[in-house]
């Protein structure tokens, strides 16, 4: 069974750094792209970026380029999303997603349970 | 604001059929790109509902169906049930943007 299990909720102050994780199981980690999706309070879904763990090829949405870093550790089947300096506007739920196969544009066939990040002074 | 526009809300009585539209343009749905649909129950993570315009993943009831025509796509729910009360999002690609994955604005379905 494919599972994406994310790290727990975080409360941070503006300017602090943060790295959240997404541990996958049930399939070969290096064979599917892993992405991140943001959902701000009461709002819709925003695609942030995606990485292919097999070769670390990473693509970012222009809105998030330079604002976050996506990475992965193949040895422990885990993907990461990190911020160097959080802002209040980063308060949101962040979902890791597995990109499915098929034809372009690909869908996201499995989602993590979400990590709530709250940034407040 | 997304390039894929959905009605903010749709409602129906139990047992009824409802449809949710996802309106795009010639640079996304109208260009022939596939549309996918997700369901998000209150307080839960989104879940894939329809992929490749009209394909259901294993476990999704056949009450849910998708279609695409011109610059729009639609999700139909027949035999509406209380458990269908959720937010629904379409997703595709837009060639005019540098964003590889575009979500619709989302639709809240209310079962009366």
How far from chain centre, in Å, is Cα A99?
12
pLDDT tens digits, residue range A6-37?
Answer: 999 999 999 999 999 999 999 999 999 999 99
With bands split at pLDDT 50, 70 and 90, how would you rate the model's confidence at B94?
A: confident
pLDDT tens digits, residue range A63-112?
Answer: 999 999 999 999 999 999 999 999 999 999 999 999 998 777 899 999 99
Average pLDDT over residues A36-48: 97
DSSP symbol at A106? P
Helices and strands in chain A: count of H runs, count of E runs: 0, 11
Going from the C-alpha of A68 to that of each of A11, A58, B6, the distances in angstroms are: 17, 12, 28
pLDDT of residue A51: 96
C-alpha–C-alpha distance, residues A11 and A28, integer Å: 32
With bands split at pLDDT 50, 70 and 90, how would you rate the model's confidence at A115?
A: very high
Query: Which of B1, B29, B100 has the highest number of chain A CBs within 10 A, making it the mutation to test binding with A?
Result: B100
C-alpha–C-alpha distance, residues A12 and A90, integer Å: 10
DSSP state letters, A1-55: --EEEE---EEE-TT--EEEEEEEESS-GGGS-EEEEEE-TT--EEEEEEEETTT
From chain A, the residues in CB contact with B51 under 8 A are 100, 102, 107, 109
Q: Nearest-CA distance from A95 to chain B in Å?
A: 8
């Amino acid at each position: 069974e494919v599972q994406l299990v994310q790290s727990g909720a975080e409360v941070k102050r503006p300017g602090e750094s943060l790295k959240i994780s997404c541990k996958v199981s049930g399939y070969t980690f290096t064979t599917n792209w892993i992405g991140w999706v943001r959902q701000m309070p009461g709002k819709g879904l925003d695609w942030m970026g995606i990485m292919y763990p097999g070769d670390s090829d990473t693509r970012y949405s222009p809105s998030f380029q330079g604002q976050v870093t996506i990475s992965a550790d193949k040895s422990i089947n885990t993907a990461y999303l990190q911020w160097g300096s959080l802002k209040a506007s980063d308060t949101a739920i962040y979902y890791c997603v597995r990109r499915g196969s098929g034809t372009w544009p690909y869908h996201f066939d499995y989602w993590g349970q979400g990590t709530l990040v709250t940034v407040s002074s | 604001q997304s390039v894929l526009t959905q009605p903010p809300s749709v409602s129906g009585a139990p047992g009824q059929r409802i449809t949710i539209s996802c309106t795009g343009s010639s640079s996304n749905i109208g260009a022939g790109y596939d549309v996918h649909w997700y369901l998000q129950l209150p307080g839960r993570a989104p879940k894939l509902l329809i992929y490749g315009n009209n394909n259901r993943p294993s476990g999704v009831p056949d009450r849910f169906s998708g279609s695409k025509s011109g610059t729009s796509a639609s999700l139909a729910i027949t035999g509406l049930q209380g458990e269908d009360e959720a937010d629904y999002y379409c997703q595709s690609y837009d060639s005019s943007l540098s964003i590889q994955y575009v979500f619709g604005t989302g639709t809240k379905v209310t079962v009366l």
